[in-house]
Amino acid sequence: MLKEKKISIVIFPGSNCDRDLFVALEKCLGTKPEFIWHNCSHIKSTDMILIPGGFSFGDYLRAGIIATKSPAIREVIRFSKKGVPIIGICNGFQILIECGLLEGALIKNSNQLFKCEKVNLKVINNKTIFTKNYKLSEIISLPIAHSQGNYFIKPDKLKKIEDNDQIIFKYSSDFGDVTEKYNPNGSVNNIAGISNKKKNVIGLMPHPERAIENFHNGIDGIKFFKNLKDLI
Amino acid sequence: MKKEITKKILKDHNINSEEYNMILAIMGREPNLLELGIFSVMWSEHCSYKSTKKWLKTLPTTGKKVVCGPGENAGIIDIDDNDAIVFKMESHNHPSFIEPYQGAATGVGGIMRDVFTMGARPIANLNSLRFGDPKHEKTKNLLRGVVKGIGDYGNCVGIPTVGGECFFHENYNNNILVNAMSVGLVKKNKIFYSTAKGIGNPIIYVGSKTGRDGIHGATMASAEFSDESENQRPQVQVGDPFIEKLLLESCLELMNEDVIVAIQDMGAAGLTSSSFEMASKGNCGVKLLLDKVPCRETEMTPYEMMLSETQERMLMIIKPEKKKITYDIFQKWGLDAVEIGKLTDSGKMELFYNNKLVGALPIKPLADLSPEYDRPSIKPKKRKNYLKKKSNSKINLEKVLKKILSGPNHSSKSWIFNQYDSSVMGDTIFSSEMADAAVIRIHKTNKAISVTSDCNPIYCKSDPRRGAEIAVAESWRNLISTGAEPVAITDNLNFGNPEKKEIMYEIKESISGIKKACIELDYPVVSGNVSLYNETNGKSIFPTPVIGGVGLIKKLKYATGFKMDDDSYIYLIGKTKGHLESSLFYEHLKIFGGSPPKVDFKEEKKNGNFVKFLAQKTELLIGCHDISEGGIALALAELCIANKKGIEITLKKNNPEKFLFGEDQSRYLLIINKKKEFESLAKKNNIENERIGFVTGAFLNFKNLFSISVDALLKLNSSWFKGFIK
Amino acid sequence: MIFRVYVNFKDGILDPEAEAIKQTIANMGLKSVKNLVKGKFFDIEVGDKKNHLSEIEKISKDLLANPIIENFKIVKK
Amino acid sequence: MIFRVYVNFKDGILDPEAEAIKQTIANMGLKSVKNLVKGKFFDIEVGDKKNHLSEIEKISKDLLANPIIENFKIVKK
Ligand SMILES: Nc1ncnc2c1ncn2[C@@H]1O[C@H](COP(=O)(O)OP(=O)(O)O)[C@@H](O)[C@H]1O
Ligand SMILES: [Mg+2]
């Protein structure tokens, strides 16, 4: 029998989507993830790490920055170098950006307001380990809930990540138009999710874990997590 | 000897001479300043309910589902399977007017602490807001700040904000209302109370360090505003939602251990009221070593420590042998916990500072003998109401509906609720504008709760008793519409200065109205809050008794929202007489006053039970919407907007304005597709019903009268906030 | 002409963000920091012609600072 | 000894908050404001004994400023 693979969820003081993520993984993959507290300085082994949404350390200073000073982040970086898949959702995305695993910055939404609503995403890269079961340009719909999700990257760097297919999701209309009208927060080129160069680290602002029940506003999160099945 | 307590000091503490004589009698001597300060906050309107206690006692507070009624931090109801729901609503009106962002944020923080103090994890927040005229210079910033404050706080803690109300009227220009409600889930056998027990048990302080925040917040909330008070601004309290989240998680973790004897958050009047209330409930004495109180600022005096309203602090009595695990858990969450005293058998509160006894007050008498007033009241002169009836044929009904839909009070509130995280925790079934009440699944179960807040101040001004009855009935109806069993309410009574007879009349009448409705509907009051002195320069707010209702949806499949299927039928349930006095319709024609519609409770229950029966026992009900302000016309428009679908209505009535805009109570619109089955059931149950139309096309079409496209409805409904806020 | 407006919390007002930053610095192992106070600044560029001070004051009071909890100070750069 | 660290957005990065403030000022009818730049400052108090500059630099670079979008400047007060 294969040894059961281990999924880890790293939590920080102020994380608040950890339970939701746990529930989603349990429901979609049938495995129970383990929680890693932020001050854990040694993760013995893990096959995938997820960083949940919320307000780590109150989002003080800049969302995600203070969390990068926690010991567990050094471990996340160590595992990322080994090629272990890492996923950051919302605040998790912000943390991955602040700790340098992903490029760019997430600044305040262009209208200064927190925004909670359902958005459509267009799959821009379906060749990553996280997205290979999507069709190219498939439209999925997921909720967002954030005030600092405005993705910024300098034009030269943008070109680089584009050329290297690191843009994974963009905000779009139901029909896949990627235009300003469907940009909820001011992100450069409607970018909603990106990966690192090696494509084993991914971050996205929307919340797949909030779209997994029939009573949710859509269930496209299920597919997002089921995509991970092959990884564990 | 020099008299320490001068007339001026008494005035500054809002203590009248009669009250001061009682203080002298209780103390047997002249109090010092610290002691007087403690009396003043404990006996403030805010903490002692001295003007309303007598009347609040008359409310029905028991029932087979009530686990804990008023008197604790929050009320508790039983929702079966060892699950219970803890909930309460509380006002932060005065602080929000002075500093809207922090005022509203700390209001949310405070009410959540009331809920998790009892061992419950908050699972939903609501807020009921009243602002002044949009044209008033302050309104925009107040709205912006309050909404952002509520959002930032709840979002950060990770509790979904799922519903509420927002109403604009010039009457609230200088006294906005910010009422926050929180709803939590607890295991029935794991509830924590605030009764102190066990002489010698340590008293533990945990949370933020004490600063000079909001000293005298409680007395401020107990006095009228004047232009002056805006200038001599008291220290504003600042909220720290991050610490709140840590407190929530650490307290719930500690509550899993067998450690806590009693626990209470430090809310209004901070350390004073929390320690007093715990001790007085347990008939204990308290010894506090104020040197131990963690302070944020230097040279804080005992007076300041006892009266500070620094947020995010808790006080608990623990078992003495459990200190280590207590400290360990709080340390894990990065919080300082400190022992600041012990329970004693002295019956007194003894305050030590620098090894000196700086204050000593008898606990029981101070609590029990707190003033209770039967303030005089008088029925206000009937306002000679309204203009002569206009000839109705000239009124353009389409224009009125469009005006209502695009005005501040009935525009889509999405600008507000999109700033609230409504989907965190993954259990939200319906939030704002998806149903008549918000519906939240009980995590990992097949049941849900339904929550709503309601009050129509226009009705309450015209007739406070009837207005209050309607507020309760409407909340009941809102719950019914979602497929719930209404269980109990919390109330937040917002009024002007009770020392004025007309205001006292409004208070008494409102409470009787609530009482009547609650008894009739078997819908008890389990918690509540009173906010008085909402007046500025002598001008009082409308009586605004906000009702927060909670119901149980026994199976998820009973949950009903605004859904409409194509070609399904629209049925109107209940008697339509066309009551237009005090209605939105008349308001738009500038016809004011008159009495609100009457609630016939027999009819109310009959119709409600029928809808409940449909939701629970049949598969007939596709969607449901109760009819309230704006009558059938507005309810239909809201259904079209929510579904982006059209409706065709055939009018048989001669007086279309009465049929469309009448605000008769106890009515619902039902979306049904099995005509025969439904009609026979309705007949069998003797329910007045009428098939008024069906779902079709892209227009809200009142045949032979007028028709508006759904696109136009959506646009009308969504433009006001955008234009206002920019 | 550029005016700089400094805005910071009044004494005694809790600044949770500053508290969190202080704590983080300590966690980073940097023990010598005794206190940290935080604020904002705004560089406002105006034309040279007339005296803009009263306008800048108005902007500071009504918009940039919340006078209930914050102080502001204007300096000409 | 107090060090003040100024942090602001690098040139060419659109600061949505500054844009909003500019817009509001224009709406207030104050037409003379040509530009507005916003930033933060941190007053960090350290002991007097040793030279703390390198520590303050580390704090600024690793915590207070995001080098991708922000500049910082340290001055001794
Ligand atoms: N302050 C608010 N916070 C959250 N939701 C709100 C707020 N104000 C209004 N809403 C939502 O907007 C919808 C319409 O509100 P309202 O017109 O008061 O409803 P009704 O009169 O049908 O009870 C409701 O779903 C309500 O929950
Ligand atoms: Mg309603």
Structure tokens at A5: 């693979």
The pLDDT of residue A1: 45
Contact B507, B493 (CB under 8 A): yes
Closest Cα to atom 2 of ligand 1: B164
Shortest CA gap A145–chain D (Å):
18
Task: Report the separation in Å between the CA atom of B406 and the middle of ligand 1, taken as the mean of its atom positions.
Answer: 15
pLDDT over 80 (residue B190):
yes
- B208-244: pLDDT as tens digits: 999 988 776 555 555 565 554 444 445 688 999 999 9
CA-nearest of B334, B307, B110, B127 to B217 is B307
* Chain CA centroid to CA B60, Å: 18
Q: What percent of chain D has pLDDT over 90?
A: 60
Shortest CA gap A23–chain D (Å):
33
Phi and psi (nearest 5°) for B248? -60, -55
pLDDT classification of B389: cutoffs 50, 70, 90: low
The pLDDT of residue A4: 76
Residue B457: partners with Cβ closer than 8 Å, 6 or more residues away? B130, B167, B169, B171, B467, B541, B542, B543, B544
Which domains does chain D show, CATH number per domain? 2-76 (3.30.1280.10)
The pLDDT of residue B225: 56
- Atom nearest to B409 CA in ligand 1: 17
Please report the DSSP string for B609-662 in residue order. Answer: HHHHHHHHH-S-EEEEEE--TTHHHHHHHHHHHHHT--EEE----S-HHHHHH-
Task: Report the separation in Å between the CA atom of C31 and the middle of ligand 2, taken as the mean of its atom positions.
Answer: 57
Residue with tokens 């849900």: B448
CA-nearest of B520, B210, B471 to B336 is B210
Q: Please choose from B92, B142, B153, B165 the residue to mutate so as to test ligand 1's pocket, defined by most ligand atoms within 8 A of CB.
A: B165
Closest-CA residue in chain D for A64? D63
pLDDT over 80 (residue D49):
no
Q: For all residues of chain B together, what is the average pLDDT?
A: 94
The pLDDT of residue B592: 86
- B675-712: pLDDT as tens digits: 999 999 999 999 999 999 999 999 999 999 999 999 99
Alpha carbon distance B652, D55 (integer Å): 82
Asked whether the beta carbons of residue C20 and residue A69 sit closer than 8 angstroms, the reply is no
The pLDDT of residue B218: 53
Domain presence at residue A1 = no
Task: Report the separation in Å between the CA atom of B563 and the middle of ligand 1, taken as the mean of its atom positions.
Answer: 17
Domain presence at residue A127 = yes
Q: Please choose from B89, B432, B434 the residue to mutate so as to test ligand 1's pocket, defined by most ligand atoms within 8 A of CB.
A: B432
Alpha carbon distance C24, D40 (integer Å): 18
Closest Cα to atom 8 of ligand 1: B165
The pLDDT of residue A128: 96
Shortest CA gap A97–chain D (Å):
10
User: Subunits with at least 3 CB pairs below 8 A relative to chain C?
Assistant: A, B, D
Residue B356: partners with Cβ closer than 8 Å, 6 or more residues away? none
At A12 the three-state DSSP class reads coil
Which residue from C16, C19, C69 is facing B236, i.e. has the nearest CB?
C69
Give the sign of the dihedral formed by CA B280, CA B282, CA B283, CA B285. negative
pLDDT over 70 (residue B364):
yes
Starting at the edge strand found earlier in the chain, the sheet holding B647-649 runs B621-626, B668-672, B569-573, B689-695, B647-649, B699-702, B706-709
Residue with tokens 């949310």: B108
Q: What is the DSSP letter of B17?
A: H
What number is the average pLDDT over the span B113-132? 98
The pLDDT of residue B376: 95
Chain A residues in contact with D20 (beta carbon < 8 A): 111-112
Domain presence at residue A16 = yes
Chain D positions touching chain C (beta carbons under 8 Å): 6, 21, 24-25, 28, 30, 32-47, 50, 52, 55, 58-59, 62-64
Residue A10: partners with Cβ closer than 8 Å, 6 or more residues away? A35, A36, A38, A49, A50, A51, A52, A72, A73, A76
At B52 the three-state DSSP class reads coil
pLDDT over 70 (residue B387):
no
pLDDT over 90 (residue B401):
yes
Asked whether the beta carbons of residue C20 and residue A58 sit closer than 8 angstroms, the reply is yes
Structure tokens at B107: 């209001």
Domain presence at residue A93 = yes
Closest-CA residue in chain C for B311? C14
Asked if A174 reaches chain B (Cβ–Cβ under 8 Å), the answer is no
CA-nearest of B318, B329, B144, B328 to B250 is B329
Asked whether the beta carbons of residue C58 and residue D21 sit closer than 8 angstroms, the reply is no
Task: Report the separation in Å between the CA atom of C65 and the middle of ligand 2, taken as the mean of its atom positions.
Answer: 39
Domain presence at residue A224 = yes
CA-nearest of B208, B356, B222, B217 to B288 is B356
Q: For all residues of chain A together, what is the average pLDDT?
A: 96
The pLDDT of residue B1: 39
Asked if A55 reaches chain B (Cβ–Cβ under 8 Å), the answer is yes
Which residue from D62, D64, D69 is facing A107, i.e. has the nearest CB?
D69
**Domain total of chain A:** 1
pTM of the model: 0.95
Task: Report the separation in Å between the CA atom of B504 and the middle of ligand 1, taken as the mean of its atom positions.
Answer: 29
Give the sign of the dihedral formed by CA A204, CA A210, CA A214, CA A216. negative
- The set of catalytic residues of B is 46, 92
Please report the DSSP string for B55-108 in residue order. Answer: HHTTS----TTEEE-BTBSSEEEE-STTEEEEEEEEE-HHHHHHSHHHHHHHHH
Alpha carbon distance B638, B717 (integer Å): 9
Closest-CA residue in chain B for A113? B419
Specify the higher pLDDT residue, C13 or B522: B522
- Atom nearest to B412 CA in ligand 1: 12
pLDDT over 80 (residue A85):
yes
Where would I find the H helices in A124-230? 155-163, 220-226
* Residue range(s) defining the domain that contains residue A130: 7-231
**How many secondary structure helices (H) and strands (E) does chain D include?**
2, 3
Shortest CA gap C11–chain A (Å):
20
Domain presence at residue A2 = no
CA-nearest of B127, B99, B105 to B220 is B99
- B605-644: pLDDT as tens digits: 999 999 999 999 999 999 999 999 999 999 999 999 999 9
Chain C residues in contact with B157 (beta carbon < 8 A): none
pLDDT over 90 (residue A178):
yes
Structure tokens at A32: 């129970």
Where would I find the H helices in D3-76? 16-27, 53-59
Domain presence at residue A131 = yes
Q: B128 exposed, middle or buried (CB, 10 Å; 0-12, 13-18, 19+)?
A: buried
Asked if D55 reaches chain A (Cβ–Cβ under 8 Å), the answer is no
pLDDT over 70 (residue B42):
yes
Q: Which of C6, C17, C46 to mutate to test the interface with D (most CBs of D within 10 A)?
A: C46
- The set of catalytic residues of A is 90, 207, 209
Asked if B421 reaches chain A (Cβ–Cβ under 8 Å), the answer is yes
Q: What is the pLDDT along chain C (77 residues), one digit of tens a residue?
A: 899 999 999 988 899 999 999 999 999 888 889 999 999 999 999 887 777 888 899 999 999 999 888 999 999 98
Phi and psi (nearest 5°) for B653? -85, 155
- B439-497: pLDDT as tens digits: 999 999 999 999 999 999 999 999 999 999 999 999 999 999 999 999 999 999 999 99
Q: What percent of chain A has pLDDT over 70?
A: 99
Pocket of ligand 1 (CB under 6 A): B 127, 129, 163-166, 413, 416-417, 432-433, 454, 628
Contact B562, B638 (CB under 8 A): yes
Q: What percent of chain B has pLDDT over 70?
A: 95
pLDDT over 80 (residue D51):
no
Alpha carbon distance B56, B38 (integer Å): 24
- B274-327: pLDDT as tens digits: 999 999 999 999 999 999 999 998 889 999 999 999 999 999 999 999 999 999
Which residue from C32, C36, C64 is facing D43, i.e. has the nearest CB?
C36
Closest-CA residue in chain A for D66? A98
